[in-house]
Amino acid sequence: MSTKVAFIGLGIMGYPMAENLLKAGYDVTAYNRSPEKAQALASSGGRAAASVAEAVREAEVIITMVPDSPDVEEVLTGEDGILGNAAQGALWVDTSTIRPDVTMSLAEQAREQGLRPVDAPVSGGEQGAIDAALSIMVGGSEEDFEAARPVLEAVGRTIVHVGPSGSGQTVKAANQLIVAGNIGMLAEALVFLEAHHVDTDAALKVLGGGLAGSKVLDQKGQKMLDRSFDPGFRLELHHKDMGIVTAAAREAGVVAPLAALVAQLVGSTVRQGNGHLDHSGLFTIVEQLSGRSGDSSDTTGGGR
């Protein structure tokens, strides 16, 4: 019989991850606050649960993919949550991106209740989730990592154990800092190039072939040129993540001035009502600061 997996949270990343688990042969029962998503997964061969408790009751592996630390805490410790309803020995894999200190606290609570906690935040955006090509940084015991590996291999391509509980979230915070910094610099470079009336398509091609090349440039450069910011990863979530970065840096006594600057830029973009855009939408604030926003105020797509 196939391994029974409960999947909690079917958002932009969660839904394709759950679909890939089905394709890999896992028996998936899903719960989502908006039940339509769970019903859609059921039509693809999974099962829809009406509550977290129903989803996890018979699960051997429980995967959570929800927006923020309070959401994970509620799913785990709430009256209808994982701790009160999951079977002893079940593996709990949290693929959300949350605070490392919260992860360590929740992992300890899970262990006390007989669960095996693994923090496994993911990177790669919506396309990476669709392609089962995510990069997954895993915290937890070596034994629990090995137990989780087959499930993670159904949704990711680069899967690395980085240390004890909380380590996965710490590495993910560093990942989000690097991504946001790259997006910010790419945005500045493109505004700079447009101001000099350079052929920006040609510029992206040659930049991508040199030391400036990156996955951020490959995936986000054209979106910026097209002013097409349909979300693969929402700015409001990256805003949350940059809060994690700056708080964790302060806690460790680490000076991170570039993190603070890009966090302010992301925060400003969100406060202007653009939190629903893809994080490449950081381009909009860079344009505004340069006085070059022009007709790009319609940030839902299109272009010039």
CA atoms 208, 209, 212, 215: torsion sign = positive
Backbone angles phi, psi at 91, to 5 degrees: -90, 125
Question: Rounded to an integer, what is the distance from CA 292 to the centroid of its chain?
Answer: 31
- Distance CA(48)–CA(147), nearest Å, equals 25
Contact predicate 194/259, CB 8 Å: no
Catalytic residue chosen out of the listed positions 4, 172, 220, 240: 172
Map residue 170 onto helix, strand or coil.
Answer: helix
Question: Rounded to an integer, what is the distance from CA 221 to the centroid of its chain?
Answer: 20
- Distance CA(284)–CA(295), nearest Å, equals 11
> Quick one: tokens of 2?
């196939």
User: Nearest Cα to 158, choosing from 126, 131, 118?
Assistant: 131
Compute how many other C-beta atoms are within 10 angstroms of the C-beta atom of residue 78. 13
Q: Is 240 a catalytic residue?
A: no
Instruction: Give the residue numbers annotated as catalytic, written as ranges.
Output: 172
